[in-house]
Amino acid sequence: MHIRETICPLCGNPSPRGEVCGQCRASKTRWLECPSRVSMVLCPTCGARKEAGSWSDLGMERSELAHQMVTRAVRFHPDFRLIAMDITLDEMSANRSRAHCRVSGTLFGEPVEGSCTLEVDWQKEQCDRCCRISGSYYEGVVQVRATGRRPSSREMEEATRIAYAVEESMMASGERLSFISQLDEHRDGLDITVGSQRLGSEIASAITRDLGGRYTTHPKLVGEKAGRQIFRITYSLRLPRYSRGDIILYSGRYAEVLGVDGKLLRCLDLATGSVRSVPEQQVERRAGHKGDAVDWMVAFRDGDLLGILDPGTGVTREIRAPPGREIPSGATVRILEDGERLVLVG
């Protein structure tokens, strides 16, 4: 009597309390369930994926995505404890893969193993962003101009770099419709066409923060959609007349522009090394840009006179060393040529 109570009624193996043992329960339980197919909609142009009706950027390889999809699609019995899952992929065609999935774990404390095969169906659909780009959709234009001049090529390069950096950070934060659809350099400056108004104002703010100047916004009604008025915005941006790094001439002195605050320039006097504010209207003219200066070698020093070698012609020319600067012969100095005059900028 006692013995019958402690064996499994199905296999006769020992079982506490005489119940069906774990092994028999495990062999009779369906613990692994696989759908025969999973599908995914991807944009053929940019690779974005569509899930539950909305698009997102992937940032992963197709095989990695397939692994993720299969892992999510496979269902286990609640008492199953996973030890390992091994997925191998066969690429059948451009729009179909086959995933072989091997699973091991425990069920009711007994080791179990199983496998299944799923088809991965890759569907193609153009995403919202690519639709907008191919349809030349845009919400605004950032017009980069400068006061009384054309923006320099250096400023246009900077503005371009800033614009793309802002686009990248907005995309990374999930604003996938904040794209730059066009970037045109023309006679007056740079036009940056943007897919969202937020991107437009972020770019305009970032450029003025970095290069100075200011911008105004000019909305224009372009139509109506579902009862809502649709505007396009022109961000009219003006860089200051003088910008950081410019070498200017005022009251017969050369100075480097360190910053611009409205109509007041913060300048480094290149002869004395002192910093001062110069009202814009006192500037005689712009002599060049710090970045255009080149290295000249110091051939000799005689008191505060430097003999420096023209790197182009090899001819020695003389220039006064700024007070307090230790410039031994053999050193190099940065020289900007302003016509016949040499300006030591660093």
- For residue 195, give the DSSP letter: S
Asked whether position 127 contacts Zn ion by CB under 5 A, the answer is yes
Q: How far is the CB of 57 from Zn ion (least distance, A)?
A: 9
Asked whether position 10 contacts Zn ion by CB under 5 A, the answer is yes
Reference 107, options 48, 176, 23, 174; nearest CA is: 23
Q: How far is the CB of 292 from Zn ion (least distance, A)?
A: 42
Q: How far apart are CA 242 and CA 257, in angstroms?
A: 8
Q: How far is the CB of 109 from Zn ion (least distance, A)?
A: 13
Number of residues that bind Zn ion (CB under 5 A): 11
Radius of gyration of the chain (CA): 36
Please say whether the beta carbons of 178 and 140 come within 8 A: no
Q: Which helix (H) or strand (E) element contains residue 76?
A: strand 75-76
Please say whether the beta carbons of 178 and 199 come within 8 A: yes
From 11, 172, 264, 305, residue interacting with Zn ion (rule: CB under 5 A):
11
Please say whether the beta carbons of 94 and 12 come within 8 A: no
Restricting to residues 13-72, which ones interact with Zn ion according to CB under 5 A?
21, 24, 43, 45-46, 48
Asked whether position 7 contacts Zn ion by CB under 5 A, the answer is no
Q: How far is the CB of 94 from Zn ion (least distance, A)?
A: 17
Q: How far is the CB of 110 from Zn ion (least distance, A)?
A: 10
Q: Measured from the CB atom, is 11 or 305 closer to Zn ion?
A: 11
Given the DSSP bridges, would you call strands 110-124 and 37-42 parallel, antiparallel or unpaired? parallel
Given the DSSP bridges, would you call strands 189-194 and 253-261 parallel, antiparallel or unpaired? unpaired
Q: Measured from the CB atom, is 182 or 316 closer to Zn ion?
A: 182
Restricting to residues 269-308, which ones interact with Zn ion according to CB under 5 A?
none
Q: Measured from the CB atom, is 18 or 307 closer to Zn ion?
A: 18
What is the three-class DSSP state of 197?
A: helix
Residues of the shown chain interacting with Zn ion in the complex, contacts defined by CB under 5 A: 8, 10-11, 21, 24, 43, 45-46, 48, 127, 130
